Structure 1
């Protein structure tokens, strides 16, 4: 394992470029898997729960329940990461994800085992949710701690941009599968192809990660004489950084609802409300995701230039005024209108995700960073990410109002606005992250 070397300024060295690339690109797997599940929800509903009217809701309920495992996984992996290291967490979480994805591809269907198929799917989704909880926090901390201070926003946003490659693959692979595999075979064996592809992808990332060094900032902390013996990071975080946990929860709630309603749920919405075929809905989402890959690093760089707070306020305001109109466009039955709506929503969500990566990690010192992200960010994602696609579909079914998803995003954005307005500035003018840093204080600009 490589050790960090001092820079000319006396601070800890940044990570090698190769390690940053591997860490950023490895988020492809996490987002491929969970987005794949939502994008294939209509197919999986038939495969695991049969043709009944409630099958789609049951499939989305599995997604929501599995997401509740993310905070548990994040706390377990967070404790390990703050005690032992970020690298250990990143290897462990990817190992579990590889095994879970392969097992999912080999599951029996409802036609073969009846209701047991749905139960086994739920079990494996919970395992995946547990692993992903550690994945997000580990990668975010690793990139922020290994980046040059004035480029933390851009470098951290690369993980978000790369995750959209996973989302792009999650749309393109099943779209290609649906296009090439006969409809009669899709429900018997065709649905397995995207999950097998994901298992191979995860295995490749696991091998690439094995050569990564530890986070320079964590190594510095690990060898610091001031490091307390027998530290309990979760307890320390709740005792000294509770306000930072609240801020992180709020920021992540906005990022989660815009992403999971404005991106991940859109293919299901286009099929169930917009009247588009599964293939057309997936291709529409695929095009929108390309726009996210472009906008995300630009938003990250913007946050380095103007600060995290102004960037989040900008994208938060867009989250209030745009979603209702964009979901309205997607109900008109026009391919062009649906494409416009999905691209705009995707760009707003991508911008928020890009800034969130660095903004939430900078709320905590190195010693409690993964634990703080587990308590704040991952808990918010479990509620406003995993539950919102199910809630959106259920509310549309019960009220008949097609614009419910847009209203959900706008309401959360309004609720989070006071937190964004009072957010301490942590970016590029702020001092480099140090192991003994306390919660961020407002920086003069």
Structure 2
């Protein structure tokens, strides 16, 4: 069993070593957190997988292209709610704890998924169907912003420090795993049902299943442990507050408390904005590549290359299943060589391959499989270290709120809009802009990563000091 030394933030006292152990409780908490992420991302991706069918059911079909664009616009609006959810739930997680938020966000996602599965169609209630769909996606986006940020923080905090990259990679395993499950169910439904049946009611099945899955996740999360890193910081805050209230603190303790407060103040005023800006920029290339290949590639193959919908779903399913198996290996590599080199591998590889991969897709399913496999394996490299890299950029009492705002803002602006922008580029007959957009943002990722310091091995208890 691996032990690692960490130092708690205790105001007014020298930092003392504390042993962080990979306990059975930590492993159970890891499983509960990542399983929840798995099903949240399954519910989230199911919308993109069935976008053509949702467009037909929930919008005016007089113009099919317009209906699809409207569906993807609702997809993007859900992402725009994520920064707000990241800020609100991030602050709650930094004050009340990570476990509390992970349960609440799961309940919200489950309720929204159930409602989407039961919504009446445009033909039944007209524009109100579109409005209700938009509302459900906004609720999901709000909850998703808090869920993602909290999971990234939580897993990094419970991980053994020397294996933070590998443990953190499991968060992205869950993200890609949820996508794989969504595409697998999408492929199964389109194989078993006729196209008319899928359009009539089959597209609802994944959302109803998501609500059922959530009950199992809630059971797992009820037994989670709170993060030891958060508990240590909370105990330090309580000790400082108690000392001030009784007036019993010594001059040395008072000086220490002031110094500790100065660290937080200095970070919040001088470095928080910089850290957020760098994370937003670093994530931009990762998220646009991820959502182009996980949420739009199948729609592109079906609507623009006349690929069979069932075949397209299975190709995405197979390619992402293989890619997600590489995630722990990328995370482990980052624990040995650092976070920044792994990001550079993703960015340079994506810049070089993207123009060729987008151009090779035609109506033959294998072309989508090969293109998606290469692209998503590169995305896996960067995704594997997001939890560790972002958590190592913020101090404990600002970590979830900082990640929640920076990550959610970047994903909303660059990732959530990617399917819509890609469809719009195609409508303008500017296919080349899809690749150009990804390449430009990957260059931004390289620049931000070059500015950020290497954080492999950093102590999460002392992030923000010095």
Q: Does 1:21 align with 2:47?
A: no
Partner in structure 2 of residue 269 of structure 1: 300
Q: How many residues align?
A: 430
Q: Does 1:384 align with 2:423?
A: no
Distance 1:281 1:144 in 2: 35
Q: Does 1:306 align with 2:337?
A: yes
The Cα of 1:298 is off from its aligned counterpart by 1.1
Distance 2:341 2:231 in 1: 32
**Measured at CA, do residues 273 and 238 of structure 1 come closer, stay the same or move farther in structure 2, by a change above 3 Å?**
farther
**Measured at CA, do residues 263 and 225 of structure 1 come closer, stay the same or move farther in structure 2, by a change above 3 Å?**
closer
**Measured at CA, do residues 234 and 298 of structure 1 come closer, stay the same or move farther in structure 2, by a change above 3 Å?**
farther
Partner in structure 2 of residue 80 of structure 1: 92
Partner in structure 2 of residue 100 of structure 1: 112
Distance 1:394 1:234 in 2: 44
Distance 2:91 2:237 in 1: 20
Of the three residues 112, 121, 125, the one matched with 2:137 is 125
**Measured at CA, do residues 372 and 14 of structure 1 come closer, stay the same or move farther in structure 2, by a change above 3 Å?**
farther
Deviating more after overlay: 338-347 vs 72-81: 338-347
Distance 1:185 1:260 in 2: 28
For the 8 Å contact 2:184–2:313, the answer to whether it is kept is yes
**Measured at CA, do residues 222 and 9 of structure 1 come closer, stay the same or move farther in structure 2, by a change above 3 Å?**
closer
Question: Deviations 1:350-390 (Å, cap 9, x if unpaired)?
Answer: 22111222111110011100111122111101101111110
Distance 1:247 1:164 in 2: 24
The Cα of 1:404 is off from its aligned counterpart by 3.0
**Measured at CA, do residues 335 and 313 of structure 1 come closer, stay the same or move farther in structure 2, by a change above 3 Å?**
same
Partner in structure 2 of residue 393 of structure 1: 423
Distance 1:71 1:238 in 2: 20
Distance 2:131 2:213 in 1: 25
Deviating more after overlay: 37-46 vs 13-22: 13-22
Q: Over aligned residue pairs, what C-alpha RMSD do you find?
A: 2.3
Instruction: Give the TM-score normalised by structure 2.
Output: 0.88
Structure 2 stretches lacking a partner, 5+ long: 8-15, 242-260
1:61-80 map, 5 Å: 61-80=73-92
For the 8 Å contact 1:14–1:216, the answer to whether it is kept is no
Q: Does 1:433 align with 2:460?
A: yes
Structure 1 stretches lacking a partner, 5+ long: none
Distance 2:392 2:315 in 1: 35
1:45-194 map, 5 Å: 45-51=55-61, 52-53=63-64, 54-194=66-206
Q: Does 1:341 align with 2:379?
A: no
For the 8 Å contact 1:247–1:423, the answer to whether it is kept is yes
Deviating more after overlay: 118-127 vs 272-281: 272-281
The Cα of 1:413 is off from its aligned counterpart by 0.5
The Cα of 1:117 is off from its aligned counterpart by 0.7
**Measured at CA, do residues 401 and 89 of structure 1 come closer, stay the same or move farther in structure 2, by a change above 3 Å?**
same
Partner in structure 2 of residue 257 of structure 1: 288
Look up the SS of the partner of 1:363 in the other structure.
Answer: coil
Partner in structure 2 of residue 321 of structure 1: 352
Question: Deviations 1:16-57 (Å, cap 9, x if unpaired)?
Answer: 211112212221122112211111111110010142231000
Question: Deviations 1:257-315 (Å, cap 9, x if unpaired)?
Answer: 11111222111111122221211111111111112221111111111111001111111
Q: Does 1:285 align with 2:316?
A: yes
Distance 1:183 1:202 in 2: 28
